[in-house]
Amino acid sequence: MQGQDRKAAIADYKKREGEPGIYALRCAALPGTVWVGPTPTLDTIQNRLWFSLRHGGHTHRGLQAAWTAHGAATFSFEVLERLEPEESAYLARAQLKDRAAHWRAALNAEAI
């Protein structure tokens, strides 16, 4: 019986819809330095970022270098904007791309 409950919970987790949005990472040791990125799943992106940074495998070399040099304690994660989910995947990607560009320009930030 317990196995069925677990399978149902996993299935429900996989079916949930993520909330799209734009986020920022800041490093207290580097005032004024901001990294901005879009994501279709705001609820999971911080864990994904912290995991790749802790293991030294993030693809953004400057971000990874800052993390390695200054450590996790100096970093903060901020949700800049939550977006309404779009019906069309194309429109969702376009909206994320547009809003990320807006926030990068507004904060003079680097893209993630």
Q: Highest mean pLDDT: which of 8-12, 20-24, 89-93?
A: 20-24
CATH of the domain at 92: 3.40.1440.10
Question: Per-residue pLDDT averaged across 58-76, rounded?
Answer: 97
Whole-Å CA distances, 83 to 79, 80, 86, 90, 101: 11, 10, 9, 15, 14
Total domains, the chain: 1
Helix H or strand E segment including 81:
strand 75-82
Q: Please state, rounded to an integer, the average pLDDT across all residues of the chain.
A: 92
Q: Is residue 24 part of a domain?
A: yes
Q: Tokens representing 61?
A: 């070399």
**Is the model's pTM score more than 0.95?**
no
Q: Which of 57-61, 87-91, 97-101 has the lowest mean pLDDT?
A: 87-91
> Which residues does 75 contact at the CB level (< 8 Å), separation at least 6?
25, 26, 27, 28, 53, 67
Q: Is residue 13 part of a domain?
A: no
DSSP annotation string for 31-77: TT-EEEEEES-HHHHHHHHHHHHHTT--S-HHHHHHHHHH-GGGEEE
Which domain covers residue 27, as residue numbers?
19-111
Q: Is residue 58 part of a domain?
A: yes
Q: Is residue 92 part of a domain?
A: yes
